[in-house]
Every structure is written in C-alpha cells, then in structure tokens.
C-alpha cells in the first residue's frame, strides 16, 4: 500500500493531536493526583468528616491512601501491624452508613491505635517479645468507644516496650523515627519521644488522621512536644483502662494525639466515659468538649510556679515569656505560684511506677500466656528463662527496681514514703495552685527531639529526666495538655504544657485553642526540614 505525502502529513497531524491530547490528560491526572495528595496531607478529623460527608472522597479511598502511605514509608517504623482487608472492609461499611445519612463524630475517619490497647482479632504486643504473637479475643473499652463512634482502625503503632521509655528505642520491633530533621545536622534521624512515639510519628508523618496514646509519666505529652502535635493526658479515671496492657495501674491513662486542639476535643469525647469493668473509672458526666473551642479566656488566671522554671534554657524561658504575652493579650491574668513539693515528683514517680510494674508484669511467667522458653527442665528454669528472654533491658531494669522498693526491708523506706509524697503533691496543687488559678503553665519537655545516637549516650537517669515536667500530672492525677508553640533554633517543634484541676479538661482546651491560634504553628511547620516521604504528591 502506497501512502501519499498528503495522507502522511494528515496522519502525522492526527498523531500529534492525539498524543498531545494524551499528554494533556496525563498531565491533568497527575495534577489531580498531586492535588488529592496535598488535600489529604495535614488532614484533620473535622476536615476529614467534612470531606466524607460532602463526597470529596470516600472512607475507602482515604483509608487506602493511608495504608499505602504506611507501607511506602515503612522506614519510619511508626506502624508495626496492619490488616488491610479488615481496615478496608470497615471503611466500606462506613461509606454505606454515610450514604444513608448516619452521623457519628468519627464515622469513616482512619486513625491508628497504640499497641497496648487490646483490639479484637488484631495482634497486640505492647512491643514486647513476651507478647509478640498475642491476638486478643476482646476489645479494650477505649477502642470500642472509638469504633462505636465510627472510627476506622488502620493498624497498631510502635511504642517503647510496655510503655517504658522516653524515646521509643526499647521496642521489640526496633526504634521509631520522626519525619523531621535538625537544621544543624540534617543527616541524623530523630526519635519521636516515648512511649507513644509510634502514634506521634504516624500523625506527624500523615500516616493517619489521629492516634491514641497512653500517658503514665508523660508518654502522650512528651512525644506531642517533639512532634509538633497536640497531646492531652486526661484526668485519671476519665478514660477506662480496661483492655489496656498495664504498666503502672495508678498512673496509666489513655488519651489522644492529634494535629489540632479541636481534633483533641473530638477524640477525647469519644474515648472518655464511665466503665463498670474498670474499678478506677470515674462516673462523671462527659461534656461536649467541642463547645469549649473558640470561647473567650478573658478573666482566666494562669499560674507560673517558680519551681517549674528553675534550670530552663534561655530558649525555653523566651518561649514561656512569649506565651505569657499571648495569654495577657487574650485577657488572662498571670499569677506567680510556689509549689514546693513539685521537685519531688520525679523521684516519687520512679519509685511508684516501677513498683507497680513489677507487680503487673509478674503475670508473664511462661505458664499462662505469652512467650515460653523452650527446653526447660524445671518450673524455676521456665520462669527465669521465659522472663529473661522475653523482656527487654529497660523493662528488666524497672522490674528489678520495683521489686527492690517493695521488698520487706525497703517498703517503708521507699514505697510508703513515695505514696506520702504523692499525697503532699496532690494537696499542694489543691491548696496552693487551683485555689488561686485555673491552670498552670510550664514547658512540656526540657529539650527538643534528639537523635538515636544521643539517646545511646544517655544514662538511664539522664533519659528519665526527659519526664521532669510531665510526671507531676500523673502523680497528682491531673489533666495536662501539650500544645506546639514554636520552633527551636534548630528548627524543631517546642511544646508548652497546661495543667488543670481534676476534670477541668474544658478549661484546658479553651486556653489551648487560643494559644494554638496565637502560635500559628501550621505556618511555622512549613519551615521544618522533612524527610523525603513516598506518596507525598
């Protein structure tokens, strides 16, 4: 067949037209994909719910995107267990409910769960070899509350083993990392804090919309500060501990890690509530915390305790001064306080917490459940080897310390004295703080996020000092919230903390929301050096 020059020119023109059109379509599709990725990045609970209800995206699409992102950014080691099929099925069911007009606070919103909340049919390990293959046949009360409000679970997040740590480096599944880098040394990888480091990293890296955490001595608030997030530790007894793997029963408390104060209010409302299965659960009315968002804080009194300012770096002092200025401009009164018992919080904590841990972890003996050493000839050998091989170094250290302070010759000298100090601290806050002010302002952490290499050089005591500003709330059973308020000279998030009286979460959320607006951290975050993330648009 002979093709004329005219026909050939026409074919070339047609091919150019088609290929040009295809390029335009591909370019448009890539542009739309990038737009969708950007829209999903930094997605809050309220924005996700609006998008789901309006039909901008489905829960199935959103859940698929997050699951892909988790798998593609596995180097962060933030999420250690996923069940794609189960998550997508839950998302599909959420879409069906949305289509029929069902309205629930978290319906279709993909969140992540710290790996010490028992989840029915999904591996729950507390990031310990002892429980590395444990699959519960029941759901914790907190996670059931979230499911009842429509949440879609993406998976389980990394954590320090049995929630013992401040850097997420004691996990059986390896350390977890932040997506941020220091300006002065971008080559080093940073820890997200602990023990809820996986949850913090997952939210900060946009691997989920929000996540649950637990706070025994600061394990929600410290990672929140390192990660530029909002983290709230509720009043002891506000959220049920049933189905949470125990560390220290009189200190453990569940709470959320979120991108905004508004999201924290939404999550807390869903997580909180009386539970007859938990003897420490408080039967109190749970308010609609969202109603406190946006309210004026004029006339509120904020306390500054001199004991909590001692030893702060110049950078931290400047941040506190700046925050005080925002509060004054918003109509608050700053009140100087003295809380003389507060410096004893950390030593009291590191007696009470290990003592309770040594008791709680006695159940992991290789007989009833959990890791069981092979080839043991006697029951004593089974106990010793199962626990020695199953527990990590930090957990063994705390079990030994706890057993020591509970032993016959030292109970009165250490444990009983720590309990007396605890009561003195509670009384001090009641009599000398909350009789005069509505909230107490302090730093969340003494430093910003540090590297794995730096953590390896710290002694156990130096690592414990990361909790110096957070353990007080746990010892006294008070609520506390960490809010990102600025960036360090190295370009890393810095958080400030508010402590309130028992069951006064509404006041803390009101103040925190104002501080959030003043800090404008969403804009500041754009200047943080980030790791190269896959599926980032």
Catalytic residues: 114, 195, 219
Distances (CA, A) of 282 to 76, 90, 261, 412: 37, 31, 24, 30
Element (H, E) at 497: strand 493-500
Nearest to 190 by CA among 417, 492, 405: 492
Structure tokens at 371: 């890791």
DSSP-derived 3-state class of residue 522? helix
Nearest to 510 by CA among 290, 360, 302: 290
How far, in Å, CA of 52 to CA of 152, rounded? 13
Please name the residue ranges forming H helices in 100-218: 141-148, 197-204
How far, in Å, CA of 423 to CA of 462, rounded? 26
- Of the CA atoms within 13 Å of residue 165, those in its CB half-sphere come to 33
CB 38 within 8 A of CB 30: no
Whether omega for the bond prior to residue 195 falls within 30 degrees of 0, making it cis, is yes
- Following DSSP, what letter does each residue of 368-413 receive, concatenated? SSS---SS--SHHHHHHHHHHHHS-HHHHHHHHHHHHHHSTTTIII
Nearest to 105 by CA among 299, 267, 235, 256: 267
Place of tokens 């990590």: 392
How far, in Å, CA of 511 to CA of 332, rounded? 9
Task: Please give the DSSP secondary-structure letter assigned to residue 119.
Answer: B
What crossing angle do the helices spanning 505-519 and 314-329 adopt, rounded to 10°?
Answer: 100
CB 278 within 8 A of CB 240: yes
How far, in Å, CA of 519 to CA of 492, rounded? 14
DSSP-derived 3-state class of residue 2? coil
- Of the CA atoms within 13 Å of residue 193, those in its CB half-sphere come to 38
How far, in Å, CA of 364 to CA of 490, rounded? 43
Our measurement of the distance from residue 374's CA atom to the centroid of its chain's CA atoms, rounded to an integer in Å, reads: 36
How far, in Å, CA of 168 to CA of 449, rounded? 12
């Amino acid at each position: 067949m002979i093709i004329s020059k005219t026909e050939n020119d026409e074919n070339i023109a047609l091919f150019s037209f088609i290929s040009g059109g295809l390029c335009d379509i591909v370019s448009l599709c890539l542009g739309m994909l990038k737009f969708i990725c950007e829209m999903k990045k930094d997605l809050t609970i309220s924005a996700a719910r609006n998008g789901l209800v309006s039909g901008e995206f489905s829960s199935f699409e959103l859940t698929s995107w997050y699951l892909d992102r988790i798998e593609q950014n596995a180097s962060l080691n933030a999420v250690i267990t996923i069940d794609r099929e189960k998550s997508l099925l839950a998302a599909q069911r959420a879409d069906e409910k949305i289509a029929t007009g069902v309205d629930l606070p978290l319906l279709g919103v993909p969140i992540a769960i710290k790996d010490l909340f028992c989840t029915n049919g999904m591996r729950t390990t507390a990031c310990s070899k002892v429980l590395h293959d444990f699959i519960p046949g029941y759901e914790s009360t907190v996670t059931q509350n979230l499911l009842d409000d429509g949440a879609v679970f993406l998976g389980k997040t990394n954590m320090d083993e049995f929630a013992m740590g401040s850097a997420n480096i004691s996990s059986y599944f390896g350390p977890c990392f932040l997506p941020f880098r220091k300006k002065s040394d971008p080559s080093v990888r940073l820890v997200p804090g602990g023990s809820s480091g996986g949850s913090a990293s997952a939210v900060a890296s946009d691997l989920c919309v929000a996540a649950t955490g637990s706070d025994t001595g600061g394990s929600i608030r410290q990672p929140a500060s390192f990660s530029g997030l909002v983290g709230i530790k509720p009043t002891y007894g506000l959220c049920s501990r049933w189905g949470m793997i125990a560390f220290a029963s009189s200190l453990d408390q569940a709470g959320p890690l979120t991108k905004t104060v508004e999201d924290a209010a939404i999550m807390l409302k869903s997580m909180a509530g009386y539970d007859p299965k938990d003897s420490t659960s408080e039967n109190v009315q749970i308010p609609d915390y969202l109603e406190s968002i946006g309210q004026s804080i004029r006339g509120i009194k904020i306390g500054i305790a001199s004991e909590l300012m001692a030893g702060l770096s110049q950078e931290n002092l400047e941040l506190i001064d700046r925050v005080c200025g925002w509060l004054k401009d918003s109509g608050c009164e700053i009140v100087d306080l003295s809380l003389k018992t507060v410096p004893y919080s950390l030593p009291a904590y590191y007696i009470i917490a290990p003592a309770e841990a040594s008791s709680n972890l006695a159940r992991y003996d290789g007989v009833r459940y959990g890791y069981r050493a092979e080839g043991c000839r006697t029951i004593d050998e089974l106990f010793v080897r199962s626990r020695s091989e199953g527990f990590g170094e930090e957990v063994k250290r705390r079990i030994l310390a706890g057993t020591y302070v509970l032993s016959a010759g030292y109970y009165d000298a250490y444990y009983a004295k720590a309990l007396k100090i605890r009561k003195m601290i509670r009384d001090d806050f009641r009599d000398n703080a909350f009789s005069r002010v509505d909230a107490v302002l302090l730093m969340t952490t003494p430093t910003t996020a540090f590297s794995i290499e730096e953590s390896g050089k710290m002694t156990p005591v130096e690592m414990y000092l990361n909790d110096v500003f957070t353990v007080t709330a746990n010892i006294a059973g008070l609520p506390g919230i960490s809010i990102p308020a600025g960036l360090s000279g190295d370009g890393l998030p810095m958080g400030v903390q508010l402590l309130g009286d028992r069951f006064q979460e509404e006041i803390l959320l009101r103040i925190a929301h104002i501080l959030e607006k003043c800090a404008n951290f969403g804009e500041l975050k754009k200047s943080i050096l980030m790791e190269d993330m896959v599926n980032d648009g």
